[in-house]
Chain A
Amino acid sequence: DAGVIQSPRHEVTEMGQEVTLRCKPISGHNSLFWYRQTMMRGLELLIYFNNNVPIDDSGMPEDRFSAKMPNASFSTLKIQPSEPRDSAVYFCASSLYSLGTSGNTIYFGEGSWLTVV
Chain B
Amino acid sequence: GENVEQHPSTLSVQEGDSAVIKCTYSDSASNYFPWYKQELGKRPQLIIDIRSNVGEKKDQRIAVTLNKTAKHFSLHITETQPEDSAVYFCAAVNTGFQKLVFGTGTRLLVSP
A is bound by B: yes
A interface residue numbers (CB < 8 A to B): 31, 33, 42-43, 45, 48, 50, 55-56, 58, 91, 95, 97-101, 105-111
Report if A105-B43 is in contact (Cβ < 8 Å); known contacts: A55-B98, A98-B96: no
B interface residue numbers (CB < 8 A to A): 1, 31-32, 34, 42-46, 49, 51, 89, 93, 95-105
B residues in contact with A100, CB < 8 Å = 31-32, 34, 49, 51, 93, 95
A residues in contact with B93, CB < 8 Å = 99-100
Q: How far is the CA of A98 from the CA of B1 in the complex (A)?
A: 18
Which among A91, A101, A107 is the interface contact of B95 at CB below 8 angstroms? Answer: A101
B residues in contact with A45, CB < 8 Å = 99-102
Q: How far is the CA of A1 from the CA of B17 in the complex (A)?
A: 37
A residues in contact with B46, CB < 8 Å = 105-107
Which among A43, A50, A108, A111 is the interface contact of B98 at CB below 8 angstroms? Answer: A50
Can you list the 7 inter-chain pairs with the closest CB atoms, starting with the nearest? A100-B32, A108-B43, A43-B102, A100-B95, A98-B95, A42-B104, A99-B95
Q: How far is the CB of A104 from chain B (nearest CB, A)?
A: 9
